Amino acid sequence: MANAADHVQLESLEALRSAVRKSEAALEGMSRKGASLTLIEKRLRGLRIGLAVLEETWNGTVCPYGQEEMKEAREMLKSLLPSVESSLAKSKAGSPQRTLIERRMTALKLAVDGIDQRL
């Protein structure tokens, strides 16, 4: 994981940042509608922790999260993989959407690996 190619590192960081932004927008929209926020909050927290782990590994920033938070994030990130894989299977080969999905899947797997290395 630490020796991932530079372009993979950049793409993975941007993929998780994008997922965080989308989750933040979803959270905002759902709170305006009065919907239950528990799942999206957990998902957002997991994505943020995964991003922090990758940034610590590759950029030398400090990851401020503890063991329990990382364990929860790991499970949340792992639970996202089947839906990302399903989206990948439905996407057209060579499409920009497929590229984004592939990058997101790579980023999620690298974040889980990074958390595993810290636990």
Q: What is the pLDDT of residues 7-59, one digit of tens each?
A: 999 999 999 999 999 999 999 998 888 888 899 999 999 999 999 999 999 99
Mean pLDDT of 71-79: 97
Look at residues 115, 113, 116, 102 and name the one whose alpha carbon lies nearest to residue 12. 102
Give the pTM. 0.92
How many CB atoms lie under 10 A from the CB of residue 94?
Answer: 7
> Is CATH 1.20.1440 the right assignment for the domain spanning 6-118?
yes
The residues spanned by each domain of the chain are 6-118
